[in-house]
Amino acid sequence: MPASPFPRCSVGACDELAISFSPFCWEHTPRENYSAHLKTKLPTLISEPTPLNLKKVECEGLDFSQLDLKNSSFSQAHLSDCRFVGTALSQSDMIGITLKSCDFVGADMQDVNLTRAKVSNCTFSYSDLRRACLSDAHLREADLMGTMLYDANLWNIELVGVKHLKKKNFVDAESDPRDRRISLYEKDSLVACESYRTLKHYLHEKGLYDDAGWAAYRELTMERKFYFETRNPRYMLSLFMDILSGYTQMPSRVIVSSLVLIFAFAFAYFIFNVPTAYSGYAPNTHVHVASFWDCLYFSFITFTTVGYGDFIPRAVPLLRILVCMEAFSGPFMAGLYIFTLTRRYAVS
């Protein structure tokens, strides 16, 4: 492992690293004047990048704004009423941090590790949290207006009173505008599935049904990915439901699937010469239908179960079974379309 940029605590038996502007770790640092001392030192860091080690530090009212603090450590720190406006914090360690009423407006927090963080009444408006890890984090009354969360890990996150969290928060600003990438962290399919599920419920509660539909679709897509990785036979059923209806989130797919079925059966009817039509001059005789358009018409009325009676299948058992299959699929697809259309507006 690379050597730490921070020196060790001066107390001989201590294995912790010294916190910034002190020869000791937080456990051995005299705490009475440390916060005031740190406040006087921060303005001196404005000129050059300076990673800080504030592990376990408890401070309030500090201003870190506009500083370059990449690769800093705030692990298990307790910070309240602090300002990080426009601060560069990318790749910093914030595992287990407690943040109260802090301001991160416009902060660069790419690849920050906020695992098990406890955040309350903080604003992250227009901050960059792409690829950040918020696993097991607890966010209460946080403002995420314009926050970039593309490829962020939200596994087991708690969202209580969070404001302005939408689908557009997960857009990759660096992707082609004609083909925007929109996603959470998806390298682990089970983690992604759980993260999308949490996000889906949050968006439903906020009445953002279109956004919740996107999260629901991605949730089941990640579930299918897990089935594929584990060679689970349910993968094929999951893939079929995706193609058929987009996991009941895309009514347009049901319409397209229905048209494909109608044309597929029409081709089958044409190839096997299935339908026959009554002759207007000889009602008791049948004439074999050779036209593809007649087969397509027969397929439509069979799919919709209209049954005008002007066409019937030939009296061959296998051909009648084929027609029965299409007659069964029609009401099924109609019911699926109605369910798909209404599901996205029902809170689950």
What are the residue ranges of CATH 1.10.287.70 in the chain?
Answer: 251-343
DSSP 248: T
Q: At what angle do helices 209-229 and 189-205 cross, to 10 degrees?
A: 160
Lowest mean pLDDT among 9-13, 37-41, 71-75, 268-272: 9-13
Distance between CA atoms of residues 181 and 161, nearest Å: 27
Q: What tens digit of pLDDT does each residue of 186-211 get?
A: 999 999 999 999 999 999 999 898 89
Tokens of 217: 């679709």
Distance between CA atoms of residues 77 and 34, nearest Å: 14
Distance between CA atoms of residues 122 and 96, nearest Å: 16
Distance between CA atoms of residues 101 and 297, nearest Å: 67
Band of residue 287 on the pLDDT scale cut at 50, 70, 90: low
Distance between CA atoms of residues 247 and 213, nearest Å: 10
DSSP 91: T
Q: What tens digit of pLDDT does each residue of 215-246 get?
A: 999 999 999 999 999 999 999 999 999 999 88
How much of the chain exceeds pLDDT 90, in percent? 67
CATH 3.40.30.10 fits 251-343, yes or no: no
- Measured CA distances, 125 to 106, 128, 144, 231, 344 (Å): 6, 9, 5, 42, 28
Record the pTM. 0.82
Distance between CA atoms of residues 20 and 73, nearest Å: 10
Q: What angle do CA 330, 332, 337 make, to 5 degrees?
A: 95
pLDDT of residue 176: 79
Length of the chain: 348
Band of residue 291 on the pLDDT scale cut at 50, 70, 90: confident
